[in-house]
Amino acid sequence: MTLDQIKPGGEGRIMKLQAIDTLGQRLLDMGVYPGLKMKVLRNAPLDDPMEIELDGYCISLRRKEARFVEVELL
């Protein structure tokens, strides 16, 4: 399952990043890395971007970026 498929309130663990180019590096710089617990907090009115909580801080990701983050639901 990828991060863009999780509804608000859903929690999971990041398993793998499928992006290896500049997007992959950007996600790592934002703190998105395998093994981290995450929670989807909310979606913007038109479902893009989505706000997620990672290790006590919040970030916003576009859905096209979230498709490259593989997660396992908790």
CATH of the domain at 32: 2.30.30.90
Say yes or no to pLDDT of 41 above 90: yes
The tokens for 16 are: 């793998």
Quote the CA–CA distance of 24 and 55 in Å, as a whole number: 19
Output the CA torsion sign for 7, 12, 14, 18: negative
* Enclosing domain of residue 21: 3-73
With a pLDDT cut of 90, the percent of the chain lying above it is: 68
The pLDDT value given to residue 54: 92
Strands 69-73 and 11-17 turn out to be antiparallel
Number of domains into which the chain is organized: 1
Enter the pTM of the model. Answer: 0.85
Dump pLDDT digits (tens) for 44-64.
988 889 999 998 899 999 999
